[in-house]
Amino acid sequence: MNRILLISLGAALGANARYWLGVWAAKHLGVAFPYATLFVNVTGSLALGFLVSLTSEHVPVTPETRLLIGVGFLGAYTTFSSFAVESLSLAQNSGNWHGLFNIFANNLVGLACALAGMWLARQIA
C-alpha cells in the first residue's frame, strides 16, 4: 500500500481516537483542567516508547507498519510522544544536556511562539 495512504489511514484513526477521548474526558472529568490532553500525551508517549523499543530491539516490523502506527496513528493522536521519545534518545545517545536542551527549547520556544501568535491575532482582530 502507498506510504502516504498508510500514514493517512493511521492519522484518521489517531485523530478520531483523540477526539473521542476528549469527549469522554469532558463528560466524566469536566473541563476545568485539560485532562484529555494530559491523558493523550501520557498514553501516546507510553505507546510510542513501547513501539520504538519493541520494534527496534525485539520484534522486527515492516517500515509500513511503523508509518501506519508510529507516524500516522500516534502522530495524529499526539506529537508529544515524539517529543518525549526524541528527548530521551538525545539524552541517551548524545548526553543529558542535549536531551535537556531539547526539552527546554521545545517548551520555552513553543510557549513564546504561542504567545506571539496570540499577540499577532489580537493586532489584526
pLDDT digits (tens, 9 = 90+) for 54-100: 888 888 899 999 999 999 999 999 878 888 988 999 999 999 999 99
Q: Where are the beta strands (DSSP E) in the chain?
A: none
Q: pLDDT value at position 56?
A: 83
* pTM (two decimals): 0.75
Question: DSSP character for 34?
Answer: -
Q: pLDDT value at position 110?
A: 87
Domain ranges of the chain: 3-124
Q: pLDDT value at position 64?
A: 93
Residue 94, all three cell numbers: 548524545
Please tell me the distance from the alpha carbon of residue 95 to that of residue 106, in angstroms, as a whole number.
17
Q: pLDDT value at position 82?
A: 82
Average pLDDT (36-46) is 88
Angle, CA 58 vertex, CA 14 and CA 41 arms, to 5°:
30
Q: Which residues fall within 8 angstroms of residue 88, CB to CB, at 6 or more apart?
A: 49, 99
